[in-house]
Structure 1
Amino acid sequence: MASRIFDGLELPASGDFHVHLREGAMLEAVSREIRNGGVETVFVMPNLVPPITTVKHALSYKATIEKHTDVKCLMSLYLHPSMTPETIREAKESGHIYGVKSYPAGVTTNSDSGVVDYEQFYPVFKAMEDEDIVLNLHGEAPPAENITVLNAEEAFLPTLLDLHQRFPRLRIVLEHCTTAAAVEAVKKCGPNVVGTITAHHLFLIVDDWAGDPINFCKPVAKLPSDRVALLKAATSGSPKFFLGTDSAPHPLRAKKGGLGAHDAEKCAAGVFTQPYATQLVLEAFEEAARKGVLEKSDLTPFVLEGFLGDFGRKFYRVEPSGARIKISAREEKVVERLAVGGANAEAGDVVIPFRRNTPIYSLEWLPQKP
């Protein structure tokens, strides 16, 4: 095996500031994979059915997740017309809700209750500014005559800039940036505005998902120049960019566009990276360095630790646990599938991980010092 850049590397445990854990058997299956990806802290998305719009629902969901994993869960609410400033104050008082997620109506999984007009939420945003609750933006313009999956993110950026101008003290995350334009927009804003970058967008371009439902997600991967911009932002050492995998599990049958052998619907949007979150980021950086897109000298401990957790923790104001992980180059490959519902799951009740059957770094948790 050729020499690997990160063989033997020790790091603080990672933080993943954008995850989808679902419900029921899917929740049980994927939540147990979080630590396999070297992650100790997750920011949990609220787009369940029905969406999480109340503090009571968020806390109940948190308790359910914690039956299956001991990672720290930062909870969120779904921006919804029923939300009021009082909801925000209650969320702050709970001590467990860190953000409110905005989904433009109709752009992605379970976004039917999403936002059409941001102006109606100005009183809520003011309360969030006052209570120091984060606004998490799915940054795509909703479907329209001149909006496609390729320009929806860039068409949304004026909304980001407008909200930042109106509420300059409001902490805002532009989630899962996919374009060079998004990176530049985040840089243009003040320190209260940051962007998350997924593991899969560090690998993919448009050709990788066109015709391949396993790689299809929203927002979609864009051009090679956009991928380069994401890689450079992720390794820039800027606290304005950190990991949010947007790991989004779907049953294989949904990814294939139907619930049965004879169905033909649209395939579900989402890429599942949970079991290998940290490892995939390191693989992407190493591949980019091998191709000359990144310099090996750029991949310093400060850069790696910042992107993989430190910057996100500081933004969300949570303390690290002190847990550490070790990366090793062994003969390991990404598993082909994850069973959902146990060994007796029906055909199709499986989730296909990103880059299945490809070589991947191994990861182990180191014993914590007393």
Structure 2
Amino acid sequence: MTDLITIRRPDDWHLHLRDGDVLATVLPYTSGSFGRAMVMPNLQPPVATVEAARAYRARILAAVPAGDRFMPLMTAYLCDHTPPDELRRGHEEGVFSAVKLYPSGATTHSEFGVTDMAKVAPALECMQAIGMPLLLHGESTDPAVDVFDREAVFLERTLQPLLRDFPALKVVLEHITTEEAAQVVRSDHSGRLGATITPQHLLFNRNAIFTQGIRPHFYCLPILKRERHRLALIQVATSGDARFFLGTDSAPHARALKESACGCAGIFNAPTALAAYATVFDQAGALDRLEAFASLNGPRFYGLSPNEDTLTLLRAPQAVPDNVALPGGAAIHPFLGGSTVPWQVRPARPAAPH
């Protein structure tokens, strides 16, 4: 049994940091362990311009605790009429690392998202030409589609035509939740299709939402699925397949907003994500493949070098607090809060000088 594992410092390829006091509160849980993070743009108003992204990046960097080596990678929020030249300029100036497509109405603050793929064809053509990745929230928003089927329907109705019509476009299916999504990625050998997987979709199936009542802190979008889907995700995540990589989709909401009559979708997992991933890989007998999933596959997909510094995970029980306090008396309930996780994360160590 391995009780200590040292890996290259990981990156989080799907992260929500919010803004203001929430940003300042949640950022240290990421920056202390992760070298980079792909920051989602669904603020209010959304981060849809180069200037907005540059300003948001500056606010994030100002909130990084002293001593943490962390780089936020910014994304552009794709709207129906996003000018292609804005994306090109942001890409050329090193501000935009990727573009995020939310189907309008799919999730938190997606009301400015895409209503018709035909409307964003010029933007997609531009992205394809300059090698700018498209990050997809892959769910159908057709009200006739069952909430548990939205990902599978999106794959058929939206993703397959997208891949056909833009054959050179790099695409990441974010936070995949189904066996069908895993199979779509595995069957593509072009090198342009990747997928992120969250800790909650690896650890839990949809029963967690309904155990002895409604459990709002297990509610996220895409929603947790059946056990067969969870097992399929574990299989691909722990397989060493370079097309699958870490993306927490950590999404903080004040506890009162989660526990309301119309609770927000999102799970704040930044404090426990690495311990959760280690637990999954350990249970699968694949700790030797955790580094590839967490630290190598994502940089390879995005054409970046892996982080040179390292991070150590120790098999030792760790109690997870029930709340993370926010200024003003509010609190956020972290993923696995109130329980004990079997792994601890030791701080990242700088690489030795060359």
TM-score by length of 1: 0.89
Contact 2:114 2:120 in 1 (8 A): no
Q: Which runs of 4+ in 1 moved over 4 A?
A: none
Partner SS for 2:293? helix
1:310 equivalent to 2:296? Answer: yes
Task: Give ranges in structure 2 of 5+ residues lacking alignment.
Answer: none
Give SS of 1:17's match: strand
Q: What residue number does 1:148 align with? A: 146
1:45 maps onto 2:40 in alignment: yes
Structure-to-structure mapping, 1:1-370, within 5 angstroms: 5-36=1-32, 38-69=33-64, 70-145=69-144, 147-158=145-156, 159-189=158-188, 190-210=190-210, 211-257=214-260, 264=261, 266-286=262-282, 289=283, 294=284, 296=285, 298-300=286-288, 303-341=289-327, 345-346=328-329, 349-360=330-341, 361-364=343-346, 365-370=348-353
Root mean square deviation of aligned Cα: 1.3
CA-to-aligned-CA distance 1:218-243 (integer Å, 9 cap, x gap): 00010000000000010111111001
Describe the superposition over 1:308-358 as per-residue Cα deviations: whole angstroms up to 9, x where unpaired: 0211011112223311111112232122211112xxx32xx1111111122
Task: Give the whole-Å Cα distance in 2 for the aligned partners of 1:82 and 1:246.
Answer: 26
**One-letter amino acid matched to 2:148:** L
Shift of 1:277: 2.2
**Distance across 2 between alignment mates of 1:30 and 1:6:** 30
Letter in 1 for 2:287: L
CA contact (8 A) 1:102 1:136 kept: yes
* Contact 1:139–1:175 (CA under 8 A) maintained in structure 2: yes
1:237 is aligned with what amino acid? Answer: G
CA distance in 2: counterparts of 1:114 and 1:305, whole angstroms: 34
Any stretches of 5+ residues in structure 1 without a counterpart?
A: 258-263
State how far apart, in whole Å, the 1-side matches of 2:84 and 2:163 are.
19
The aligned length equals 342
Shift in Å, 1:171: 0.4
Contact 1:205 1:222 in 2 (8 A): yes
Distance of 2:326 and 2:317 partners within structure 1:
26
Amino acid of the residue matched to residue 352 of structure 1? H
3-state DSSP of counterpart to 1:34: helix
Query: Partners of 2:240 and 2:56 in 1: how far apart?
Result: 34
Distance (whole Å) between structure 2 residues aligned to residue 21 and residue 318 of structure 1 = 22
Go from structure 1 to structure 2 and tell me whether the alpha carbon gap of 1:126 and 1:367 turns closer, same or farther (over 3 Å shift).
Answer: closer
- Please report how far the alpha carbon of residue 96 of structure 1 lies from its aligned counterpart in structure 2 after TM superposition: 2.8
Q: 1:329 to 1:129 in 2, by over 3 A?
A: same
Change beyond 3 A, Cα 1:100–1:6: farther
Contact 2:88 / 2:126 at 8 angstroms: preserved in 1? yes
1:261 aligned partner: none
C-alpha displacement of 1:6: 4.5
Deviation, 1:57, is 0.3
Kindly provide the amino acid, as one letter, of the partner of residue 17 in structure 1.
W
Distance 2:299 2:225 in 1: 28
**Using the alignment, how far apart are the partners of 2:25 and 2:287 within structure 1?**
33
**Identity rate of aligned residues, in percent?**
33
Conserved? CA contact 1:333–1:357, under 8 Å: yes
**Distance in 2 between the 1:314 and 1:99 partners?**
15
TM-score relative to the length of structure 2: 0.93
